[in-house]
A and B are shown apart, each in its own frame.
Chain A
Amino acid sequence: MAKKRIFNVEKGNVMQVGKISFAIIVMLLVFSSCRKKTEAEGSKGALAINVTYSVDGQSLEFDRMQYVNSAGNVYSVTRLQYYISHVALFNKKKGWILIDTFFLFDARRYPTQKIIMGNLPLLTYDSLRFYIGLPPSLNHHDSLPNTLENQEMIWPEMMGGGFHFLKLEGKFKEADTSSTISGYAMHLGTNVALVTVKLPVNIDLTGRLVAEVNMDMNVNEWFRNPYVYNLAEKPYIMGDTLRMQKIASNGQDVFTIVGVN
């Protein structure tokens, strides 16, 4: 199955390119053949997403104990890696158009990371949806290409298997006045911790072939809403289903759209 997927991920490159899977092309063909063809359906467009990182308005700097979350913890970020997958765009007439693909992000290596998805119908869209993590169909050991980058994200079989959806790690003090500095590791994995992100955004692919969306992750949102998360309560959540689900819920609004070109 995995081999049939059209992956085109340039390893170690900032630019990662994904494509609509065969199944979807076939589905699209079937659907469009039932209707009268509009002009737009002949050609295909591309969507580029640039991802950046911030903490409540400041751009993210690694290794610096300078951020304060909603629980009052003072913290730094030492690692931020995650997958985005199952990107879909919403068109009023056609509904959700799914781009079956996945991308691995490493914020430390790429403070701005660009992904490009091609083969999109030239339509107007008003929402963007994706997972932080991997859909169940991709969340088992041999579903992703065997690269060192993916190996590092593996969630051991003993703990349910699949891949880490998120690794957010750093150091923290419970409060500004505390003297002890500890580590925290917010790791999400297994299907229960999948994060769905849905963002309203106007993407117009009728007038041109490429639309570019700038999207920013505010790290503080992982600790804010709906659950104010105090890192001192439990700094290490891997395998703790309840807390992983809390962080996953918080993850729904970590991204905001900051621009569309």
Chain B
Amino acid sequence: MGRMFLLSLVLINLLLISCKKDKQVYTYSPTPYQLEIPEGFPQMPTNPNNPLTKEGVELGKRLYYDVILSEGGPQAGNSCATCHVQSRSFADNSPGVSVLPHVNLGWGTKHWLWNGSKQGTLEDIMMFEVEDFFQVDVSRLMQDTTYQRMFYKAFGKKEITSKEVAYALAQFVRTLISGNSKYDKYKRGEIDLTPSEKRGMAIFFSERGDCFHCHVPPLFTDFDMHNIGLDSMPADPEDWGLFAVTGDSADLGKFRTPTLRNVALTGPYMHDGRFQTLDEVIDFYSEGVKNSPTLDPIMNHNGGIHLNLTPQEKEDLKAFLLTLTDEEFLNNPAYRP
């Protein structure tokens, strides 16, 4: 009897210890993550349902680079980073529908995707990416002990759903902040721009080029929908833009303004990648804009829809766009797996 009692004591103790160990591995006490907001940027809108934590950001980064998320399973070999490549400002240069870069997306609260078909917070668009675009099979993550632990540490939940996957990805993407380009350094008074860059800046920020009304600094986007006159009567539904979503003829050809941060690296340009180079984009704004009933009023600069820039002005404008490249962002080791 005595021996049995001892044995059971030992057993209970062992059980307790193992439980304790178990508990230690699965503690949920996330560390708040402090974002560094660059000078001159507004505060990033936060999502009270998804406060940033070190654990959440770390998990989001791992997921971002992991082919386990692939639609059709890891053998399909796709992760977010397949198309959202850091050295290209988390876009890529493949032909077809242009990949939208992941830069400063934490400030987005209006329209998402080129045709504005999604609205809401970054968490909302991430839910779409996870559930609809990638159709992530969450059970694969549930079977992985490392992920079990990481999800518990980040969200305090043993049950992993697509919501936690989306929220972790959103946390990581919120940290992808670019605000240290040559332009930013100039704004902070640290360096000077060349005369050509300055002339380009004057075109950008005046009625001459009128770019700032939509590419609003410091994000260089307004996250809003505009028809800039790529087509007068778009035949291909891919070129319908917001009209394909709302069915309202007033929305024909409206697309979401892309950011111009790191624009040197995000070509080919426009929603369908129709322009290979920034020169082509500038030529378009200068003499290629097509009129239509839904062309954005801002494109009616001083009565004419063409800017008719001189070759020198085009060079200057391009030189200015190149100042928006942020080497620190493109090479930041914190964004790598």
Contact = CB atoms under 8 A, between A and B. Distances in A.
B206 interface: yes
A30 interface: no
B94 to A, nearest CB: 31
A39 interface: no
Interface string A54-86: 000000000111000000000000110000000
B231 to A, nearest CB: 16
B49 interface: no
A65 B294 CA distance: 11
Interface string B230-248: 0000000000000000001
A201 interface: no
A63 B248 contact: yes
Nearest to A78: B297
Contacts of A185: 297-298, 300
Contacts of A158: 201-202, 205-206
Interface residues of B, number: 31
A170 B217 contact: no
Contacts of B217: 151, 154
* Highest count of chain A CB atoms <10 Å: which of B109, B218, B250: B250
A219 B40 CA distance: 34
A148 interface: yes
A236 B213 CA distance: 13
Contacts of B248: 63
Interface in B256-302: 291, 293-302
A152 B202 CA distance: 18
Given A157-B205, A158-B206, A238-B207, A151 B218 contact: yes
Given A151-B217, A151-B218, A171-B293, A182 B206 contact: no
Interface in A110-167: 146-148, 151-152, 154, 156-159
A193 to B, nearest CB: 14
B212 interface: yes
B311 interface: no
Contacts of B302: 234, 236
A235 B207 CA distance: 13
Nearest to A79: B297
A154 B216 contact: yes
Contacts of A147: 42-43
A183 interface: yes
B205 A156 contact: yes
B114 interface: no
* Highest count of chain B CB atoms <10 Å: which of A78, A154, A158, A181: A158
Given A148-B107, A152-B216, A157-B205, A63 B250 contact: yes
Size class of the A contact interface (CB-based, 8 Å): 20 to 34
A226 interface: no
A241 to B, nearest CB: 12
B216 A169 contact: no
A183 B300 contact: yes
A229 interface: no
Contacts of A239: 206-207
Nearest to A236: B302
B222 interface: yes
Contacts of A157: 205
B303 interface: yes
Contacts of A146: 40-43
Contacts of B296: 78, 183
B259 to A, nearest CB: 13
Contacts of A234: 302-303
Interface in B125-167: none
A103 interface: no
B297 A184 contact: yes
* Highest count of chain B CB atoms <10 Å: which of A154, A156, A180, A238: A156
16 contacts: A65-B293, A78-B296, A78-B297, A146-B43, A147-B42, A148-B109, A148-B219, A151-B219, A152-B222, A156-B206, A156-B212, A169-B298, A235-B297, A236-B207, A236-B300, A236-B303
Interface of B: 40-43, 107, 109, 201-202, 205-207, 212, 216-219, 222, 248, 250, 291, 293-303
Interface of A: 12, 63-65, 78-79, 146-148, 151-152, 154, 156-159, 169-171, 180-185, 234-236, 238-239
Given A148-B109, A235-B303, 13 more contacts: A12-B109, A79-B297, A156-B206, A157-B205, A158-B205, A169-B298, A183-B295, A183-B296, A183-B297, A184-B297, A185-B297, A236-B207, A239-B206
